[in-house]
Amino acid sequence: MPLSKITSTSIAANTILPEDILDYSIDSNQLSNTGVTAATYGGGTSGTVIVPVITTDKAGRLTLAANQALSLTSFGIVDVQALSSAGITNVAALAVNTSIFTSNLTVTGTTTVAQAKEKVTIVGAGATGTIQFDVRTQAIVYYTSASTANFTVNVRGDSGTTLNSMMNVGESVTIVVASTQGGTSYYLTGVTVDGTATGVTTRWATLVPSSGGTNSIDSYTITVIKTASATFTVLASLTKYI
């Protein structure tokens, strides 16, 4: 008597082998629907990796497939050594993508860099008053017009972020203020951090400036070292470019 339906319980284990099934004798129309939508899973865009997430049944058929986006900007630590050990050496995409790291990037160990570019803010005016130096957006500020008065520099994260909150004890940040000078000499008279001189000790190389240059560019290099909470040692120097 012919069987109208063959179920898995009707067949003894391993009694039907792959060679017992003719090629193309079972097509997709004869298989039950797993619920997985036909599509391409995985991939990526600039700054984002799309990882496929799949679930299978005991026969190995896909029962669930979905995409999970991983933003490269969300990774707190990029272990380059582990990537290299895993055979992942092509990081060309990182080299051309300027928006992958939008927050702090911590690199431990000795690092070799062929060349590094620093952000320079060019101001078409003269240095005067209190210069608000935001370390989150620049490394150098260059005033291209002649100074009109003596000036001070306040070093901070930005208008909404203190430098103290950005730095750990034992860390330093170095900035440069380049001031164009005309026929009258003006100079940097003091450095504050986060709007105050309290907790800030400034040491000058050789001499404390009492004047600036004339018809030149005065370049002030300022290194801020955090020695305790809201406590900083500032190492400053002046170089005159004629």
**Nearest C-alpha neighbor of 184 from the set 126, 124, 143:** 126
Query: What string of pLDDT tens digits covers the 242 residues of the chain?
Result: 454 555 655 556 556 666 666 665 666 666 667 778 888 887 766 556 778 888 888 777 788 888 887 665 555 555 555 555 555 555 444 444 455 556 677 777 888 888 989 999 999 999 999 999 999 999 999 999 999 999 999 999 999 999 999 999 999 999 999 999 999 999 999 999 999 999 999 999 989 999 999 999 999 999 999 999 999 999 999 999 99
**Alpha carbons 69 and 52: distance in angstroms, whole number:** 9
Contact status, residue 198 vs residue 142, Cβ threshold 8 Å: no
Find the length of the chain.
242
Structural domains in the chain, CATH included, are 44-113 (no CATH), 120-241 (2.60.120)
Q: What is the 3-state secondary structure (H, E, C) of 83-116?
A: HHHCCCCCCHHHHHCCCCCCCCCCCCCCCCCCCC
